Structures are given as C-alpha cells and as structure tokens.
C-alpha cells in the first residue's frame, strides 16, 4: 500500500496508465473540485450515469449528481445508450497502470462498461505497486478477496481486425481522476 514512496508510486501509476492509453489527472478530493473535473471530462456529452462509491466521502457523489446531464435514476434502456459512466475505483495498480472496479453496488458494473467514456475516481491511498497485491491476505487484498473485481487497463481494445483499435465493446475512453 502507499507508504513513504507514495510519490514515486503515484508517478509510476500515472506513467503506466497513460501508456495504456488512459487519460490521467491528479486532483484534490474536495467535492467541488471533483465535480468540476468530472464536468470538464464529460463536457459536450448529453447523458451521464453516476454510480455510488464505497470509500470516498458521499458528498462527492451527491455533488456529482448535480451535474445537469446526470440521469438521476436511469432505466436499463438509458444505461444502454448513455454517453459516460462515472464510478469509484476500488484500487490502482502502479506497475500495470490498471484500476480495479469492484462490482456489486447499483449501476457500478454498467457505468464502467456500457458507455463510450468511463470516468474513474481513484483515491490515491488505494494505489498498490503490483497486481498480485490484490490477492494477498492482508490489507487491500483481504478486502478484494470478498468482492467481484475487474482489473481495467486502458480502454477496450482489439487487434483482431489488423491494426490496434481502441474502443470495442467496452468503453472507448478511460479517464482516471486520482484524488489526492
């Protein structure tokens, strides 16, 4: 877990996630600052879905819901056609530039999968160095063992049609907001 090497761990995370074609920003975690960053990230889009968090303070999510394009209680039909999903990330993995999404809470899975843009809010203290730390019996691993977890590294991609194409069935863009 993030300790005194926090800075280099976060730097590594940012570098690797960027290499994996995610967009990464480091911001503060005041609700207003997060709201402004999400509003910028989703500018020009007309329908957003916000899923509740597990770890970040709840005022962040209530303030995100005041963004006008957010659909308050989306139906499944709306989920299938929305432009962007905003979710919390369960953890970040520095070495691979991945985030983890823990499934379960309403809208979380859909908001991280069905829309062309996924915006993930990653609390900086939840960044670990290597993927396998999520499988250790202590710390963040112990929590992860209880959940359905997805490691997300960059947007969905394929090389099946020849060249590398980003944006297949899953999100075409991944935007990670690291909350310090």
Interacting residues with other proteins (CB under 8 A): 20, 75-77, 79-80, 96, 98, 103-104, 106, 108-110, 113, 130-137, 141, 145, 148-165, 167-171
Q: Which is nearer to other proteins, 34 or 50 (CB)?
A: 50
Which tokens sit at 112? Answer: 């991280």
Q: Which is nearer to other proteins, 124 or 131 (CB)?
A: 131
Q: Which is nearer to other proteins, 59 or 80 (CB)?
A: 80
Least distance to other proteins from the beta carbon of 110, Å? 7
Which tokens sit at 28? Answer: 């503060």
Q: By the 8 A CB rule, do 100 and 130 touch?
A: no
Specify which residues 102 forms β-bridges with.
Answer: 149
Residue 135 DSSP symbol: G
Least distance to other proteins from the beta carbon of 39, Å? 26
Least distance to other proteins from the beta carbon of 101, Å? 9
Least distance to other proteins from the beta carbon of 72, Å? 17
Rounded distance between C-alpha atoms, residue 3 and residue 57, angstroms: 21
For 87-102, the DSSP string reads: EE-SEEETTTTEEEEE
Q: Which is nearer to other proteins, 57 or 168 (CB)?
A: 168
Rounded distance between C-alpha atoms, residue 130 and residue 128, angstroms: 6
């Amino acid at each position: 877990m993030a300790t005194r090497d926090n800075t280099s761990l976060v730097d590594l995370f940012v570098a690797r996630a960027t290499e994996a074609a995610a967009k990464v920003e480091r911001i503060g975690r005041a609700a207003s600052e997060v709201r402004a960053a999400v509003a910028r990230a989703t500018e020009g889009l007309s329908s957003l879905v916000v899923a509740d968090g597990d770890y970040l303070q709840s005022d962040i999510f209530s303030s995100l819901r005041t963004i006008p394009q957010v659909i308050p209680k989306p139906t499944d039909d709306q989920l299938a056609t929305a432009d962007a999903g905003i979710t919390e990330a369960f953890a970040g993995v520095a070495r691979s530039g991945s985030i983890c999404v823990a499934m379960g809470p309403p809208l979380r899975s859909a908001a991280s999968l069905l829309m062309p843009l996924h915006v993930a809010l990653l609390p900086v203290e939840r960044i670990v160095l290597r993927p396998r730390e999520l499988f250790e019996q202590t710390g963040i691993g112990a929590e992860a063992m209880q959940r359905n977890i997805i490691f997300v590294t960059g947007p969905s991609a394929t090389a099946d049609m020849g060249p590398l194409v980003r944006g297949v069935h899953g999100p075409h863009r991944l935007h990670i907001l690291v909350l310090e």
